[in-house]
A and B are shown apart, each in its own frame.
Chain A
Amino acid sequence: MATCCSKQTELAVSGNAKKVALVGNPNVGKSVLFNALTGAYVTVSNYPGTSVEVSRGNAVIDGQQWEVIDTPGMYSIHTITEEERVAREILLHETPDVVLHVLDARNLERMLAMTIQLIEAGLPVILVVNIMDEAERMGLSIDLNRLQQKLGIPVIGAATARKRGIDEIRSAMNSYRCSCEQQRFEYSRLLERDINEVTCLMQGEYILSHRALALLLLQQDEEIVELVRQRETVGYAPLAEKVREIAFDRRESFHLDLSLERNEMVRQIITGVFSAPEKRVVTAAERLSRLAVQPLTGVPMLLLVLYFGLYQFVGVFGAGTVVDFLEGKLFEELFNPWIIGVVKNLVPWEIIQELFVGEYGIITLGIRYAVGIILPIVATFFIFFSFLEDTGYFPRLALLVDRIFKHFGLTGRAVIPMVLGFGCDTMATMVTRTLETTRERVIATILLSLTIPCSAQLGVIMSLLSKFPGALAVWGGCLLLLFIVVGLLSARILPGAAPMFYMELPPMRLPQLGNVVTKTYTRMQWYFMEILPLFVLASVLLWLGKITGFFPKMITAMTPVMASIGLPKETAVAFIFGFFRRDYGAAGLYELQTKGLMDARQLTVAAVTLTLFIPCIAQFLIMKKERGWKVAGAIGMFVSLLAFGSGYVLNKALLVTGLLS
């Protein structure tokens, strides 16, 4: 049998750089391995004549230059899809010095058939048995040494997502030497005779072995037929006749026979190599995953997550302990008095002093709000969010709520914008475009703008209301009730059927500290960089409003509205702040409470109204962009009326019942 040695020497690309192609089924970790090998400098371009993208990068391993090619996913070298054709084209025309076949250790039996084909084709294969960590967790055992002996090629176990095995792959690439005694996998006598009859008639030089080509010809692979026709020239006619004759004789079952024989080969290879526990090991993660999606256990689990994650960690710790320290101690007692003194000494004009350190000053209000109040809440929220995200809980949540969301005309898929809405409603509104139907998008946009508070708002409200027994329950109850009522009504009023929802669940896993820290830091960094200029701008606008007399007039104009829902006129400030940004409004509410301007009833009414209140400018603009002026205007109007209407009803209800008095 021809081996890869001669061909690689003969056909290798000129220059010192070697080529390595990553091949394998889709979603086995090729891209992760590609990134680990290449780093940041990568080019992505369409493969000539196709719309299939191929990534290429460079790597230097112990002084050896490598060009790394990430091929599209393929299941077999007998190609069906355009992606598979491109992957094979790369193997055929780019003459890689090494082919890294990446497969999923959990599906070793199913994927080894392609390894056999690659070896059979005479390619310089190194096998990477990836996702070993998950396989081990499932109790699967793979004897890599034995597998290497049976296949006759280097075999490396890896978990590329966890950076395990990368060094060994690099080292194997550099030290790869073609074996002139490559493993030969024997088919049945009948099939061997057919292969032999075809290969005997082949004279041309090819990248793939004659044996592999013979099998592809017998499978009527059009591109291979064309390739062989061009290479064999005069000798092609008898070859084609022989292929036609065999194909006709075996027309009923060739593909099936070949597939069965390869499966049998794989079975023989994995005997003594692969073992699975007799009774499938149900891991703790799998058990937890099942509990998370079943309503009877999933709902209590969700409540526990919300209680410990949102209430205790974000609300009590972030918005309580940390904010008290940062805002109360650091800013109010130390930083503000000092900076006020500095500015007043440096700037003689009172009006400019006001701009920086006045009631609505850039430093004393804008920066204090951003750093003292919003930053600790958002930080704790993002830690909680990233932690939960890294465990793989969110897709389970989507499955859990799918049944409930169906009543609102939504599916579990709507969990994505809803969950993201707790981070920022503006960005979540944009993500509603991923929902399948316009109806779903409109319903999700309404629910987002109405009942999903952003993290900062949520943290402040939880921290403030937890000081009054029952207040948090009233606030939560109101929002939940409105979420259900508005959801049900929207589903009735807007015509259409809810589409189907299904998704493949990724495994649940212990969150990795590095991932949580990185994601939290990244989210916080962008969030902070986004809010800081806006908070400064809002302070400038409020300062302008104050010196021109516009802001006090606005507060006076809103006084009757505030009075109608039982709130002091100063609360109007928080509502005006809230229109700039939801989190800015929440910080305003925090300030009002610390000044002792509101009792438990008023605080609860203000919190409910402010949560439901018209979305901030940014969210409104995105609503307009996504849904158009008419729908955005209608939603804005509806949400504002409903917010104040609910505030009015809640205030009356609390006064009548004497609850929270």
Chain B
Amino acid sequence: MICGFCGFEFDESEGKKGCGGCHGGCHSVHCPRCNYKNPLESGVVKKLKTIFGKNGKNKGDNK
């Protein structure tokens, strides 16, 4: 994911989670560089992306 504040690219697993501040569990990933709180994609969004195959139909600069 890309941090919404500093633009740093990181994997969800690299970010800090679970500081315990939010009621009802943690739904954010804090950027490892600037600590900005980025929202975690909800299950519904992930499912929708899978259904519509967002990653599957992308064209690039073909060789």
Please give the residue numbers on chain A whose beta carbons come within 8 Å of chain B beta carbons, in ascending order.
27, 29, 31-32, 34-36, 39-40, 42, 44, 53, 55, 70, 129, 132, 144-145, 148, 154-159, 161, 163-169, 172, 389-390, 392, 394-395, 413, 416, 420, 426-427, 430-431, 434, 503-507, 518-519, 521-523, 525-526, 529-530, 533-534, 618, 622, 625
- CB of A523 within 8 A of CB of B23, answer no
Judging by beta carbons under 8 Å apart, are A167 and B23 in contact? no
Complex Cα–Cα for A533 and B19 (A): 21
Task: Please indicate the chain B residues that have their CB under 8 angstroms from the CB of A522 in the complex.
Answer: 27, 39-42, 45
For the complex, give the distance between the alpha carbons of A53 and B40 in Å. Answer: 21
B17 within 8 A of A: no
17 extra A-B contacts, CB within 8 A, seeds A390-B4, A505-B7:
A31-B11, A32-B2, A36-B55, A42-B13, A70-B11, A132-B61, A164-B58, A164-B59, A165-B60, A166-B60, A167-B56, A167-B60, A394-B5, A506-B6, A518-B41, A526-B24, A618-B23
Residues of chain B within 8 A (CB-CB) of A36 are 55
- Do the beta carbons of B11 and A145 come within 8 Å of each other? no
- In the assembled complex, the CB of B54 is this many whole angstroms from the nearest CB of chain A, namely 7
Residues in B neighbouring A434, C-beta threshold 8 A: 34-35
Q: Are B55 and A163 in contact (CB under 8 A)?
A: yes
A27 CA to B57 CA in the complex, in Å? 25
- Please determine whether A154 and B63 come into contact, CB atoms closer than 8 angstroms: yes
Name the contact of A622 in the complex, choosing from B1, B21, B59 (C-beta under 8 A): B21
| Band of interface residues on B | 35 or more
Q: Which residues of chain B come closer than 8 Å to A39, judged between CB atoms?
A: 55
How many angstroms between the C-alpha atoms of A172 and B41 in the bound complex? Answer: 30
Q: Which of A132, A526, A534 contacts B39 (CB 8 A)?
A: A526
- Give the interface SS of chain A, mostly helix, strand, loop or mixed: helix
Which residues from A are CB-within-8-Å of B46? 40
Residues of B with C-beta under 8 A to A172: 63
Pick the most buried of A159, A169, A521, A618: most chain B CB atoms within 10 A of its CB: A521
Interface of B is mostly: loop
Nearest A-chain residue to B45, judged by Cβ: A518
Q: Given A155-B63, A167-B58, A522-B39, check contact A427 B21 (CB 8 Å).
A: yes
Q: List 6 A-B contacts (CB under 8 A).
A: A31-B9, A155-B63, A166-B60, A167-B58, A416-B35, A504-B7
* Best-buried of A158, A172, A506 by chain B (most CB within 10 Å): A506
Query: Which of A129, A430, A506, A521 is within 8 Å of B19, CB to CB?
Result: A430
Q: Looking across the interface, which residue of chain B has its beta carbon closest to that of A35? A: B11
Give every chain A residue within 8 A of B62 (Cβ-Cβ).
Answer: 156, 168
A27 & B9 in contact (Cβ 8 Å cutoff): yes
A389 touches B61 (CB 8 A): no
- Kindly provide the distance from the CB of B30 to the nearest chain A CB, expressed in whole angstroms: 8
A80–B62 Cα distance when bound, in Å, is 35
State in angstroms the CA–CA spacing of A35 and B1 once bound together.
9
Min C-beta distance of B24 to chain A, whole Å: 5
* C-alpha spacing A159/B45, complex, angstroms: 22
Within the complex, which residue of A148, A165, A389 is in contact with B58, where a contact is CB–CB below 8 Å? A165
Q: Do A166 and B61 contact each other (CB < 8 Å), given the known contacts A55-B13, A389-B5?
A: no
Give the 9 A-B residue pairs with the shortest CB-CB distance, closest first. A506-B7, A165-B60, A157-B61, A434-B35, A168-B60, A163-B58, A430-B21, A522-B39, A389-B4
In the complex the two chains form, what is the Cα distance from A392 to B34 in whole Å?
14
Q: Which residue of A lies closest to B27 (CB)?
A: A526
CA distance A138 to B39 in the complex (A): 30
A70 to B57, CA, bound (A): 23
Given contacts A55-B13, A163-B54, A522-B27, contact A530 B22 (CB under 8 A): yes
- In the assembled complex, the Cα of A519 lies from the Cα of B3 at a distance in Å of 12
> Hey, which chain B residues are within 8 Å of A506, CB to CB?
6-8
B49 to chain A, nearest CB (A): 9
Q: For the complex, what is the distance from the CA of A170 to the CA of B23, rounded to whole Å? A: 41
Q: Contacts of B5 on A, CB cut-off 8 Å?
A: 389, 394-395, 416
Q: Which of B1, B35, B36, B42 contacts A521 (CB 8 A)?
A: B42
Q: How far is the CA of A31 from the CA of B13 in the complex (A)?
A: 11
Known: A144-B61, A522-B42. A32 touches B21 (CB 8 A): no
* A166-B63 Cα distance, complex, nearest whole Å: 13
Q: Which of B9, B24, B61 contacts A530 (CB 8 A)?
A: B24
Which residues of the other chain, A, contact B1 by a CB distance below 8 angstroms?
A: 32, 35
Residue on B with the closest CB to A527? B27
Q: In the complex, which residue of chain A has the Cβ closest to the Cβ of B40?
A: A522
Asked if residues A521 and B58 are in contact (CB atoms below 8 Å), the reply is no
- Chain A residues within an 8 Å CB radius of B10: 31
Expressed in whole angstroms, the minimum distance between the Cβ of A533 and any Cβ of chain B is: 8
When C-beta atoms are compared, the residue in chain A nearest to B62 turns out to be: A168
Whole-angstrom distance between the Cβ of A148 and the nearest chain B Cβ: 6
Check if B60 sits within 8 Å of A392, measured CB to CB: no
Measured between beta carbons, the chain A residues less than 8 angstroms from B14 are: 31, 44, 53
**Cα–Cα, bound, A413→B36 (Å):** 10
- Shortest beta-carbon distance, B61 to chain A, in Å? 3
Candidates B30, B44, B63; contact of A144 at CB < 8 Å: B63
Q: Are B6 and A32 in contact (CB under 8 A)?
A: no
Distance of A169 Cα from B41 Cα, bound (Å) = 25
Complex: A53 Cα to B11 Cα, angstroms:
11
Closest to B58 in A: A163
Taking the nearest CB of chain B, how far is it from the CB of A39, in angstroms?
8
Complexed CA–CA distance, A519 and B55 (Å):
18
Query: Do A431 and B54 touch across chains, with their CB atoms under 8 A apart?
Result: no
